[in-house]
Amino acid sequence: MIRSLLPGVIFILVFMYFAVFNKYHILYLEQNQLFRFNLSYLRDFFLLPGPLSLIIGAFFTQFFVISWLGALIITLKCLAVYFFTKYILGKYNIMGLVFPFIPVWLLVILHSNELFTPDQSIGLMLSLLFTAVYISVSTPKIRYILFLSLWPLYFYLTGGFAMICVVICTLHEVLSGTRKDRFLFIALYILEGILMPWLFSQLLFFIPKGKIFTYPLFYTFHTFELVSLISVYFILPVLMVTGYFINKVNASVVKFIRGTTIKILTGSLTILLMVFVIYKFAYNKRAEQMFAIDYHIRQAEWRKALKQAEQYPDLNTLVIYYTNLALLNSGQLGEKMFDYPQIGPGGLRLKWERNSNLVFGGDIFYYLAYNNEAYRWAFEAMVAKGVNPRSLKRLIITSIVNGDNDVAEKYLHILGQAPFYRKWVLKYERLLSDPASLANDPEIKRNRNFLVNKNFISNATGMNLDNLLENHPENKMAFEYYLADLLLRKELDSFAENISRLKELGYTSIPLCFEEALIFYNFYENKQVIPEGFSFRPETVARFNEYAGLYTKFRSDRAAARYELGKKFRNTYWYYLQFANI
Amino acid sequence: MNWERNSGILIGTIFNSRIYNLMIKKKKILHSQFKFNLIPFLFFVILVGCNRKIPEYTETDSQAILNPDYSSITIPPNIAPLNFRIMDKADLYLARFYNNEGTEFMVRSKNGEIKIPDKKWKELLKISGSGEYSIDIFARNSGEFTKYQTITNKISQEPIDKYLVYRLIEPGFETWNKMGIYQRNLENFRQTPVMLNSLSGGNCMNCHTFARNSGKDIMFHMRGENAGTIIFKDGVYSKVNTKTDSTISAGVYSSWHPSGDFIAYSVNNIVQSFPAMPGRKIEVYDTLSDVVVYDIRKNLIVTTDQLSRPDILETFPSWGPDGHSLYYCSAVKQSMGNYDKIRYDLMRIPFDPDNCSFGQPESIIKVSDKGKSISFPRVSPDNKYLLFCLADYGNFTLWHPESDIYMLDLSTGEEIKPEINSNRTESFHEWSSNGRWVVFSSRRDDGLYTRPYFTYFDTAGKMHKPFILPQKDPEFYVDFMKSFNVPELITSQVGLNPRKLEKFGKKNQTIKAGL
């Protein structure tokens, strides 16, 4: 009963783990590639070893656009690995329920990290499939022929994953073979395992020497994940050897190990330990939260992004940047920016880091209607990451805004080769074929209205907000970001100079953070700067008086002042101004 | 000189652009149906499709829209089949190829893709003593065939150099990923890598240059961790650090002396900036630049005061075919930020290869006072013509949509704007070894991705309608997301490949050039 129920329960748990706890991780993975139904795209995979695992991996990753489907695919891969392992271990009389779960457990650990892509587990699955087929053949001669004739093709198709087959098949012959001539074939296996990849590298592929035997295996993990990765490749040979020796030891020990109570106890403990390790070391809640924010930003779900950001426990530049972006887009930046952690102007835009954060960093420029810069970040992200839907979408819209319709058409064509994006592509294809509708599309219209007409050069570390406002003083989002930037830089003189424009930009009251800044400025500089038609809210003035009183009380002890004021005024500009280190 | 754009060419480009859009739309319909061109099926189509009889048809006055546009062009006798797609909608297409010598065959297609059998194509070009071949295109709609106007292309007697070398790279800004220098056999569709950065740690590599259009002598720069100029001459590999204590940088833009003993380089301090105006995505310009000559035999860098004036930017050296003159571009240095005021004139300086010395420079074309700027001078092998790019300012014309190719008649001094330009960027160009063909880079298709175009340069000094590098898949360029950078024609295959270079690189130390 347990034997048949337990695997089912465990795989339901695996599915739930990915569907519930790694939902955004799965959605993020989908955004890192674009599987296309296009022969030239598929042909490129064949330029290096392992096209089969890479193509199948990319094919399945496209379904990660629906998170539960992604979770199901990962679960099914784990299930396949479970069955192959169970079958192979069965040949060594290892019938314990837990053993086939060990590679599954390792896969779950590895799939908890976003760097471990689906093609990796597909590669492992394919190598186990080959091995299972090999072991299933009982006639040694047929096995030898099977390996020696098919392994080169298998190496071509799965690359470095086929090396696992060499190890396991060789081991199988050593442990279970009886023929004397098997050592000759074992030597041939090893020779083929060394010679064929080298020959392929000399005749077929252009591949760096260091990757001849391993590509496309991913192995740039560190510590815990690296141990898991190595384990997942070598666990089966280890179990095979263990099974072989257990079968050799005396019957009483085996009998003891096979006792039902001991078995259930050790099995349950092992499974509990596995769950604990996943929870403690593999699952990265913060990364999941970050992916959740990223997802909501992508979907322009600003309030959901903010809700996620509120729950993020640490100071993280990406989270702070996304928070400010969400605040800006939901019209709350001036009102609530200090309700969230701020790290200075560095939280308003990401640093340009090649091959790293380009895919996230361009968003702010897009919403500020800095079209060329949004295009540049998106293009560079596509170069660094490879063709991906997120960059393509941004390139399409920025190209349309710039009037580069032919480029937009090209990218629409590329994106349209991915079935899950056809609907999006059709929308823009229709718009491009109907200039009147295109001109009225709110997103295009807004960014076209703010197109730069007086040139300036991109500031490598800033956002050119002054230039954007010089081009279009009516760009309210640029204005709000500009004021936020000044506040975060603590440049209150410039802030006070610009605050007078609130009315012309349609503000009905002074946003709270701006009000706090202005009250402080007036108090500190002994001025009366109040934008025409606006007044300070009495409650804000009262709060400031309270703040000033407390500050005066602790003025001689800065640490105490920071502590006491932090209790009540941490979410005010006054506190940021006086205590934040930027 | 007439700075106005040729309206005829403009219309031509708009037309090309329309074809491109049509092509994309057509392909969208196709991939919604997701078709797979299985090899056996194609084989069957080719076998059954060829040599069919002409069906009954009605004739239309219009011309079929082809992509790429391979109509009314002049082609070399040794070019690969010019496969194309018929953009007009139909359920069946027939393309009848024939010449006056009796060679005739038909290609049948259901999706408009006309893939010409290699053997029959060669036969067609070989036998066309009349110097032309024709294509009749028939399209079937609702069971009725329509015949479009016959397309006639000329076949030149002069072959084009067998190989085209280019770098494939995304037209990006600062970031790159995979890039490689490739050679393409123009007589078929075979493309092989000369160098791939995946084998050298992902570094940047650029500026491949040949001596006398020969694949035997090649140089290119490796950047990043593997920095150095790779010179492969007479089968000997060397890697040189061309930066000296007295020069601005290592060599950048290069030109190989006809004798093979010298390479002229510009040494530059290059700056990139990113303008905000639509239509201007990137500006690449020099804040400092000089021209130097590297003596390969002596491993020495040579220059003269005239080529390294502190207030002047000298760049784009290019040898005349006799090796006694060096052309280059020269501009007055501007303050930082005034990049749109840097305008280059064309200069020439005599060079004595025997003692590696220079004469006095002379101005060949002065355009800076007319608000224009010259780049990429290239003299024809017969020393009669000089091609150059003309833009509004600067020297990195790749990102200048207004950049066009111009020609200077060196004997008369007449400046001509050949009818090969589009309303988008034309940037880089090179002569074939016989001087009858020119390859140039153009962004005419979509405004972003650079493609190599060929034009026939006849004995009367006229350039013919250009055509794009043919590909096996007629829709190759629709899906392809890299630019063809620095196309160079060479007569023989480059004797290098990434594996050899990887081996050479490990065995050889970088040599530092002296001054």
Torsion of CA B270, B276, B278, B279, to 10 degrees: -10
Residue A531 preceded by cis peptide, ω within 30: no
Q: Provide the shortest C-alpha distance from residue B240 to chain A (in Å).
A: 23
In a domain, B267, yes or no: yes
Confidence of residue A112 (pLDDT cuts 50, 70, 90): very high
Is position A197 within any domain? yes
Mean pLDDT of A515-535: 95
∠ CA B176-B182-B183, nearest 5°, is 160
Residue contact B473–A455, C-beta within 8 A: no
A37-69 burial, b at 16+ Cβ within 10 Å, e below that, comes to bbeebbeeebebbbbbbbbbbbebbbbbbebeb
CB contact under 8 A, B499 and A206: yes
Q: Do B24 and A409 touch (CB under 8 A)?
A: yes
Contacts of A409 in chain B (CB under 8 A): 20-21, 24, 446
> What is the Cα–Cα distance from B163 to B494, expressed in whole angstroms?
9
Give residue B436's identity as a one-letter amino acid code. Answer: R
B27 part of a folded domain: no
Last residue within a domain, chosen from A265, A282, A299 = A282
Question: Which residue has tokens 């009250």?
Answer: A519
pLDDT at residue A124 in the model: 95
* CATH code where residue B42 lies: 2.60.40.3760
Tell me the chain B residues in contact with residue A358 when contact means C-beta distances shorter than 8 Å: 175
Contact A455 B280 (CB under 8 A): yes
Same domain for B136 and B181? no
The domain of A234 spans 81-282
For the segment A360-367, the average pLDDT, to the nearest whole number, is 96
Torsion of Cα atoms, A485 then A491 then A497 then A499, to 10°: 40
Residues of chain B contacting residue A208, judged by C-beta atoms under 8 Å apart? 198-199, 502
The reported pLDDT for the residue numbered B403 is 97
Helical pair A371-385 and A389-402, crossing angle rounded to 10 deg: 150
Is there a contact between A196 and A155 (Cβ–Cβ < 8 Å)?
yes
Q: Which residues of B are less than 8 Å from A376 in CB distance? A: 173, 274, 281
What is the C-alpha separation between A329 and A336, in angstroms, rounded?
A: 12
Are B197 and B479 in contact by the 8 Å Cβ rule? The answer is no
Q: Please name the residues in contact with B424: beta carbons below 8 A apart, sequence gap of 6 or more.
A: B13, B401, B442, B443, B444, B447
Q: Are residues A274 and A302 in the same domain?
A: no
Q: Does B337 contact A457 at a Cβ distance shorter than 8 Å?
A: yes
- A353: nearest CA partner in chain B: B175
What is the domain-level CATH number for residue A368?
1.25.40
A406 interaction partners in chain B (CB closer than 8 Å): 17, 20-21, 445-448
Give the per-residue pLDDT at A221: 76
Helix axes A422-433, A405-415, angle to 10 degrees: 160
- Tell whether A405 and A346 lie within a shared domain: yes
pTM for the whole structure = 0.92
Q: Considering only CB atoms, which chain A residues are within 8 Å of B448?
A: 404, 406-407, 410
Residue among A202, A383, A467 minimizing CB distance to B170: A383
Mean pLDDT for A551-562 is: 91
CB < 8 Å to A455, chain B: 275-277, 280
From A424, A449, A474, give the residue that closes a domain: A449
- Stated as kind and residue range, the H or E segment containing A482 is helix A476-489
Q: CA of B356, closest CA in chain A: separation in Å? A: 41
Give the per-residue pLDDT at B41: 42
Shortest CA gap A120–chain B (Å)? 21
Instruction: Judge whether residue B15 has pLDDT over 50.
Output: no
B280 with B331, same domain: the answer is yes
Residue B32's pLDDT band, with cuts at 50, 70 and 90, is very low
B198 with A414: Cβ contact below 8 A: no
User: Across the beta sheet with B437-442, what order do the strands follow?
Assistant: B426-431, B437-442, B451-456, B467-468
Lowest mean pLDDT among A124-128, B225-229, B255-259, B375-379: B225-229
* Residue A156, phi then psi, degrees to nearest 5: -60, -40
Which residue in chain A is spatially nearest to B195 when comparing CA positions? A206
* Residues recorded for chain A: 582
Q: What is the dihedral of CA A103, A107, A108, A111, to 10 degrees?
A: 180
- Mean pLDDT computed over A460-467: 94
Structure tokens at A102: 């060990």
Asked if residue A250 belongs to a domain, the reply is yes
Same domain, yes or no, for A333 and A432?
yes
More confident call, A306 vs B225: A306
Q: Is A268 found in the same domain as A408?
A: no
pLDDT band at B507 (very low <50, low <70, confident <90, very high): low
* B320 pLDDT more than 80: yes
Q: Is the pLDDT of residue A152 over 50?
A: yes
First to last CA, chain A: 63
Closest Cβ opposite residue A372 in set B274, B445, B449? B274
- Cβ B175–A354 below 8 Å, yes or no? yes
Label each residue of A267-323 as H, E or C: HHHHHHHHHHHHHHHHCCHHHHHHHHHHHHHHCCCHHHHHHHHHHCCCCCHHHHHHH
Examine the domain organization and report whether B211 and B299 are in the same domain.
yes
Q: Which of A372, A404, A417 lies nearest to residue B447, judging by beta carbons?
A: A404
The predicted model gives A2-7 an average pLDDT of 76
Q: Is residue B116 domain-shared with residue B187, that is, in the same domain?
A: no
- The whole-angstrom distance between B127's CA and the closest CA on chain A is 34
> What average pLDDT is seen over chain A?
93
Select from A266, A218, A259, A270 the least CA-distant residue to A104: A270
Label residue B508 by pLDDT band (50, 70, 90). Answer: low
d(CA A62, nearest CA chain B) in Å: 17
Q: Of the candidates A258, A282, A306, which is a domain's last residue? A: A282
Instruction: Indicate the residue of B21, B34, B448 with minimum beta-carbon distance to A37.
Output: B34
Rounded mean pLDDT of A369-384?
96
A contacts of B445 (beta carbons < 8 Å): 406
B409 and B462 housed in the same domain: yes
User: A182-234 pLDDT, tens per residue?
Assistant: 899 999 999 999 999 999 999 999 999 899 999 999 877 778 889 999 999 99
User: Residues of chain B with pLDDT > 90: what percent?
Assistant: 74
Residue B329 shares a structural domain with residue B430? yes
User: How many angstroms from the chain centroid is the CA of residue A169?
Assistant: 36
pLDDT, average across residues A306-311: 96
Contact A455 B20 (CB under 8 A): no
Rounded Cα distance, A388 and A379, in Å? 10
Among B103, B124, B155, the domain boundary falls at B155
Structure tokens at A205: 């592929």
Residues A278 and A210 in one domain: yes
Chain B CB contacts of A452 under 8 Å are 276-278
Torsion of CA B336, B342, B347, B351, to 10 degrees: 20
pLDDT at A525 > cutoff 50: yes
Per-residue confidence (pLDDT) for residue A195, from 0 to 100: 97
d(CA B406, CA B3): 10
Instruction: Tell me: do B125 and B265 sit in the same domain.
Output: no
Amino acid A247: pLDDT: 78
Mind listing the pLDDT tens digit for each residue in B428-460?
A: 999 999 999 999 999 999 999 999 999 999 999
For residues A437 and A431, is the Cβ–Cβ distance under 8 A?
yes
Tokens of B50: 């060829």
Q: For residue B217, is it within any domain? A: yes
Q: pLDDT band for position A93 (50/70/90)?
A: confident
3-state class (DSSP) for residue A258 = coil
Write out pLDDT tens, residues A378-426: 999 999 999 999 999 999 999 999 999 999 999 999 999 999 999 999 9
Q: Do B17 and A413 touch (CB under 8 A)?
A: no
- Identify whether residues B76 and B224 lie together within a single domain: no
CB contact under 8 A, B281 and A39: no
Give the CATH number for residue B222: 2.120.10.30
Task: Compute the distance between CA of residue B407 and CA of residue B1 in angstroms, rounded to an integer.
Answer: 11
A206 and A164 within one domain: yes
Is residue B191 domain-shared with residue B123, that is, in the same domain?
A: no
Same domain assignment for residues B215 and B122:
no
B216 with B110, same domain: the answer is: no
Give A-chain residues touching B283 at CB under 8 angstroms. 457
Indicate the residue of B31, B278, B337 with minimum beta-carbon distance to A372.
B278
> For A518-527, B228-237, B322-331, which range has the lowest pLDDT when averaged over its residues?
B228-237
Residue A406 and residue B476: Cβ atoms within 8 Å? no
Q: How far apart are the CA of A290 and the nearest CA of chain B, in angstroms? A: 25
Is B31 in contact with A456 (Cβ distance < 8 A)? no
**Of B128, B155, B182, the domain-final residue:** B155
Q: What does the mean pLDDT of chain B come to?
A: 88
CA distance linking residue A191 with residue B333, whole number of Å? 64
Tell me the mean pLDDT in the region A555-574: 93
CB contact (8 A) between residue B275 and residue A372? yes
Tell me which DSSP letter residue B332 carries.
E
Residue B24 located in a structural domain: no
- The answer, yes or no, to whether residue A6 has pLDDT greater than 90, is no
Partner residue opposite A387 with nearest CB, options B273, B476, B481 = B481
Q: Are both A443 and A528 inside the same structural domain? A: no
Boundary-marking domain end, from B155, B180, B199: B155
Mean pLDDT of B50-57: 74
Domain count, chain A: 3
DSSP classification of residue B150: P
Nearest to B281 among A209, A376, A382 (CB): A376
Decide if A39 and B172 are in contact by the 8 Å CB cutoff. Answer: no
Pair A358, A385 in one domain: yes
| Interatomic CA distance for residues B241 and B514, integer angstroms | 9
Asked if B337's CB is within 8 angstroms of A372's CB, the reply is no
Yes or no: say if B395 and B375 are a contact pair by the CB < 8 Å rule: yes
Gap from A199 CA to chain B (nearest CA, Å): 12
What's the domain range around B406?
163-471+484-512
Mutation for A interface: B33, B176, B285, B479, most A CBs within 10 A: B479
| Rounded (10°) CA dihedral B425, B428, B433, B437 | 0
**What average pLDDT does range B487-508 have in this prediction?**
86
The beta strand positions in B344-413, using DSSP E, are 344-352, 357-358, 362-365, 373-379, 385-391, 404-409
As for how many domains chain B has, the answer is: 2
Do residue A306 and residue A380 come from a single domain? yes
In a domain, B489, yes or no: yes
Query: Are B308 and B408 members of one domain?
Result: yes
Return d(Cα B404, Cα B398) in angstroms, integer: 10
The two tokens of residue B277 are 């105006």
Residues A524, A528, A534, A540, CA torsion sign: positive
Please state whether beta strands B132-141 and B144-147 pair in parallel, antiparallel, or not at all (unpaired).
Answer: antiparallel
Residue A285 pLDDT class (50, 70, 90 cuts): very high
pLDDT tens by residue, B3-13: 333 333 333 44
Q: What size, in residues, is chain B? A: 515
The pLDDT-based confidence of A255 (bands split at 50, 70, 90) is low
Give yes or no for a contact between A392 and A400, defined as CB atoms under 8 angstroms apart: no
Clarify whether residues A250 and A108 are in a common domain: yes
Residues A379 and A421 in one domain: yes
ipTM for the predicted complex comes to: 0.91
pLDDT at A541: 96
pLDDT of residue B101: 86
Interatomic CA distance for residues A449 and A455, integer angstroms: 15
Out of A61-70, A417-426, B297-306, B430-439, least confident range: B297-306
